[in-house]
Amino acid sequence: MRRIIALLILSCTFQIAGAQSSPAASAGEVRWYTIQEAEKLNKKSPRPIFIDTYTDWCGWCKKMDKDTFTNSVIIDILNNRFYPVKFDAEGSEPVTFMGQTFINENKGSNSPHQLAIALLNGQLSYPTVVFLYPQKDGKLSAAPVPGYKQPKEMEVLLSFFADKAYDTQKWEDYQKSFQSRIK
């Protein structure tokens, strides 16, 4: 009887350890949405939309995925204060966003998607993150921020938009007074 109990305890221990390390059970990942899912969620429960525009060939995009989007503070902010979106700036699928359909016209190699062109104001560099945040009139404004961002740099950006500091402070002032949670 003791052996059976010991085996059951051992078995449960392995199952719990396995469940904690599995991606499905772990809160250690960003929950990425499609742009359409984020738009729908935003209508039900408004919060800023964060869009990571990337390409498959972009080395800095992959580095940001590995270094920044795996940081627990960044994951927490993105999952709880934004609707995070991963958007392939050279993807071929049509995307309907805010009542307009965007396509990739596939004009040669590395052809940009029309939505990427619109979000990045024609300034195509990768990675670029875009913050879509509500204005007082209810419309969404876009703020593209180009370049690789380390976790501490990303944290202050995310917090600026999540806290709606853009309504009351200049970016430079917010940066100076910001207290990072990242060690």
Amino acid (one-letter) located at 182: I
Q: What is the pLDDT of residues 134-171, one digit of tens each?
A: 877 777 889 999 999 999 999 999 999 999 999 899 99
Q: What is the pLDDT of residues 130-141, one digit of tens each?
A: 999 887 777 788
Mean pLDDT over residues 62-90, rounded? 97
| φ/ψ (deg, to 5) at 35 | -65, -35
The domain made up of 27-177 is a member of CATH 3.30.70.260:
no
Question: Any idea what DSSP says for residue 169?
Answer: S
pTM for the whole thing? 0.83
According to DSSP H, which parts of 45-182 are helical?
59-67, 72-81, 114-119, 151-162, 171-177
